[in-house]
Amino acid sequence: MKYRDALIEVIGKIVRERRRARDEGIRIDAEPLVEPRDLPRFVEVAKRELDRLNEGNIARYRIRLAEYQPWSRLA
């Protein structure tokens, strides 16, 4: 994926800041990292990945279990 590093950064930031996976928040975090024409699709992918995030795949996003667990309880 073209924006793999951006996806890791945005997902990690949302989890570490214990924010809900909202389109607008994802968009704001991604704007400096993603070309404007790619932003809508990036937001879709990030939202989907946040919805699927679990203890088995957090390492892919460089998220520690201690960071993930408080975030996971927001849902």
**Distance between CA atoms of 72 and 37, rounded to whole angstroms?**
31
Burial 42-73 (b: 16+ CB within 10 A, else e): bbebbeebbeebeeeebeebebeeebbeebee
Residue 7 confidence (pLDDT): 98
The tens digit of pLDDT for each residue in 7-17 reads: 999 999 999 99
Residue 62 confidence (pLDDT): 97
Q: Mean pLDDT in each 10-residue stretch from start to end of the chain (75 residues)?
A: 94 96 95 98 97 96 97 87
Residue 75 confidence (pLDDT): 61
Residue 48 confidence (pLDDT): 97
